[in-house]
Structure 1
Amino acid sequence: MRGKSNGWGLAVGVLLLLSAEPAWAQRKTKAQLLRERQATLRRVQETSRILAQTQQQKQASVGQLNALKEKLTVQQGVIKNISSELRYIETDVRQTESQVQQTRQNLDQLKAEYARLIYAGSKTANGYNRLMFLFASESFNQFMLRLRYIRQYTEVRQAQAAQITHTQQRLSTQLLGLKEKQEQKGSLLSNQISEKKNLLTLKTQQDEVVVKLTQQEETLRKELAARQQAIGRLDNLIALRVREEIARAARAAARKAAAANAARSSTAASAARSPAATSRTSPTAEAEAAAVSAAERVDRVTLTPETAELAASFHDNRGQLPWPVGRGFISQRFGRHNHPVLKNVVVENRGVDIQTSAGEAVRAVFSGKVLTVASVPGMNTIVMVQHGDYFTVYAKLRSVSVSEGQTVQARQPIGTVSTDAEGTSEVQFQVWHNSSNLNPENWLGRK
């Protein structure tokens, strides 16, 4: 009886064996990698289209060099993404191999235990032995316990057989999954090799363009000088428009305040009904002139409740504004940086230059009022939009579809980008707060 009890305990223990399952968190990581890969491939397509446009011109250009640099960056992103996917697959393969090994061990244990159950059951295989086992009971309670044991023993054998079948099926599924993952790994390795070859090709092209541009140093210096002059003219125009708007808003606020004071003074004088008071000259005109003169000396836009709300909303969207073009990349960043070709030459940019495709629509990044539409030599047509005491500037436009004083909404087209003689389509975007120049990259959201 003791031996049979030990066999029964071992059978129950086998039924409690658990199998490892893959972690759900890994699936989420794999989905994220897939989304990143798709986004990177879209950037590759965009950059390839822009690069092809600049390569239509036989002569090398800075725009072509910028496009090659961007494509190199994107290409490195592709390779990095593939490497991340490979690490994920390799981890998944190792986990699957571990699961396969564990499942095989479980299967061997189940088969061994089943063999012991069969051997133990063979001793009572016929009905006579079972009856003898039951009727040898010393009491009715022992009889019922032995009867229950025989029934449970039969159920355990059946459960054991089902568990073996289930484990074999699971092992087959795991082996199939392992084979698929190994195939994915092989495919990713091939893609990685191919993308690295593309990267080397791009680096070669970049070096060739740099050599050609270096041979055009005199031309590049002239282009840089012309650009700096154009930037200076644009800076002067922006500063002038900002000063004018500051003064206009200040005068409007001063007149409104003076009118309110005059209304209060008139009410007080009428209430007093004093002849002496009516004989004196009203100081309203002098007070208004003094208020306007003082207001014009401020260095920021005087806001109304409506424009203050607009400015606060613009500020709250810092880092979330849409790009002024639907596709493209930043070809020249904000601030001071070295020239991409000329040695020991530092250039300064008041905004960001965004290189894009020919004919691309330029859009307002936020709702506001068109303050200025003007033509600036070297910058083509520019549009300046006011958002309370914030201003956004869009330069290098070929055509404009808005007019001064017009209210525009976020993402509303305001014109199209221009394309220069070298085949480079580029828009310059600037952000100002009163008279302070801000870095647009801190305001634009992710594409």
Structure 2
Amino acid sequence: MRRFFIFFLSCLLLVLALGTDAQRSKGKPKSRAQLEREKRENLKRIQQANRILEQTRAQKEASIGQLNAIKEKITVQKGVIRNISSQLNYIETDVKKTEGLVSSMQQDLEKLKAEYALMIYSASKSANSYNRLMFLFASESFNQMVMRLRYLRQYSEVRKAQVAEINRVTHNLNQELNVLTAKKQEKERVLNTRLAENKNLLNMKGQQDQVITKLSKQEQELRNELERRQQSVRKLENLIADMVREEIARAARAARAKKAATPSRPGTSKAEKEEEISVNKVTMTPEMAAVSSSFSGNRGRLLWPVSRGFISQRFGKHAHPVLKGVVIENRGIDIQTSQGEQARAVFEGKVLTIASVPGMNNIVMIQHGDYFTVFAKLRTVNVSEGQVVNRKDVIGTVYTNSEGTTELQFQIWKNSSNLNPEGWLAPH
């Protein structure tokens, strides 16, 4: 019975140990791998922001471009700190589990040692050969003597098994104690890292305050710059609206001509013939409809118009970063990037127009069925009107202004409706 109990206890300890290892590995490697990926991505984003920030600083002591780059660094830095906090949570959970396992194994070891001590005490009563012989010869039959002999051998084997189990549990306990020590040291390192990153965040906020203070002293210059930008934005909007209207009218004329040349079915009314031709949306051929459907199906997965950079101004209405009480509206998104960065097509389409607007520099508008993508603030243009472009084809080079800020204005339209590009682009 005792041998069975020891065997059962050994199996139970082994199952518990394996179960703990399984729990330790279940789910966590993936989550920690995600944290590591986020860590690498954050590091890459900070390096890009630093590069962009240095380029703007080289041209001017304080600018909106600098302020945007610092804000991007602060946003990423907060992500870094959240990432470290998540790592700490995992480490603390592991420490608690390991402490629980160590405590359980210590209790098991004490029980095993107590049982072994009891065995030794019992064995001491019949320790000499005389007592064992008397125990055997006192048997009432030969069969009983054989059974008693077998019992003595089994008892000796149980004692050996108990010693082996004590050694195994002791070895495993020492291993877990080493693991626990390593995890506590890791926790201490990560805590120190988080403290250092918090100090970096405070320094970045201090830099941001300094730039805002300097820019606040240039209020009139900022207001003049804002007025020039608003004039440029209005000209760009008018240009886009005109081009969309022209394309709608052109497609409608082509559709009417095609319908006029197609024999009508008997009983077809004029209204039925005109039902697919609209003055509010592009009348599409089957090929254009396929491109439009494919473009729409890639919502949230479109290629970024530049390979690196960050959104410096989002879609919609926003408070001016420096001027109090001033609200600015963005019809697209501004993406701040590095000098010399190339703009690229986000999807296959046809170059509808190439134009130039003061303050927005060169502009390229690409048609994707009844969707349109607009690239503004280009220094050079690498495509021509009517050209069919594919995803990733280079459209041109992004313009760098006198303050050292390299920024692309990117817009998406469906017919005459302005859309938020951020919801269409893939995570970056």
Global fold match (TM > 0.5): yes
Match of 1:156 in 2: 158
2:396 maps to 1:410: no
Counterpart amino acid of 2:85?
S
2:160 maps to 1:165: no
Counterpart amino acid of 1:232?
R
Give distance in 1, aligned partners of 2:228 and 2:191. 48
Match of 1:11 in 2: 6
> 1:163-220, CA deviations, whole angstroms, 9 ceiling, x for partnerless residues?
2222122122112112211221121122122112211111111111111111111111
Moved more, 45-54 or 119-128: 119-128
Give distance in 2, aligned partners of 1:347 and 1:416. 26
Instruction: Name segments (4+ residues, structure 1) moved above 6 Å.
Output: none
**Structure 1 unaligned blocks of 5 or more:** 266-286
1:218-297 pair list within 5 angstroms: 218-261=220-263
Match of 2:59 in 1: 57
> 1:297-327, CA deviations, whole angstroms, 9 ceiling, x for partnerless residues?
5211111111111111111111111211111
**Change in 2 beyond 3 A, CA 1:122/1:216:** same
Give distance in 2, aligned partners of 1:251 and 1:406. 22
**Change in 2 beyond 3 A, CA 1:238/1:149:** farther
> 1:30-76, CA deviations, whole angstroms, 9 ceiling, x for partnerless residues?
22222222221111111111111111123311111111111111111
**Structure 2 unaligned blocks of 5 or more:** none
2:300 maps to 1:298: no
Give distance in 2, aligned partners of 1:229 and 1:99. 69
Counterpart amino acid of 2:283?
T
2:208 maps to 1:195: no
Q: Does the 8 Å CA contact 2:380/2:398 hold for their aligned counterparts? A: yes
Match of 1:374 in 2: 355
Counterpart amino acid of 2:279?
V
Q: Percent identity?
A: 59
Moved more, 113-122 or 249-258: 113-122
When the two structures are aligned, how many residues end up with a matched partner?
417
Q: SS where residue 186 of structure 2 aligns? A: helix
**Change in 2 beyond 3 A, CA 1:95/1:297:** closer
Q: Does the 8 Å CA contact 2:255/2:277 hold for their aligned counterparts? A: no
Give distance in 1, aligned partners of 2:91 and 2:353. 55
Normalising to structure 1: TM-score of the pair?
0.87
Match of 1:337 in 2: 318
> 1:349-385, CA deviations, whole angstroms, 9 ceiling, x for partnerless residues?
1000000111111111111111112111111111111
Give distance in 1, aligned partners of 2:215 and 2:395. 34
2:351 maps to 1:349: no
Moved more, 226-235 or 86-95: 86-95
How far off its partner does 1:10 sit? 4.8
Normalising to structure 2: TM-score of the pair?
0.90
Q: SS where residue 386 of structure 1 aligns? A: strand
How far off its partner does 1:151 sit? 4.3
Counterpart amino acid of 1:361?
Q
Give distance in 2, aligned partners of 1:363 and 1:145. 89
Counterpart amino acid of 2:358?
P
Moved more, 341-350 or 22-31: 22-31
- CA RMSD, 1 decimal: 2.4
Counterpart amino acid of 1:368?
G
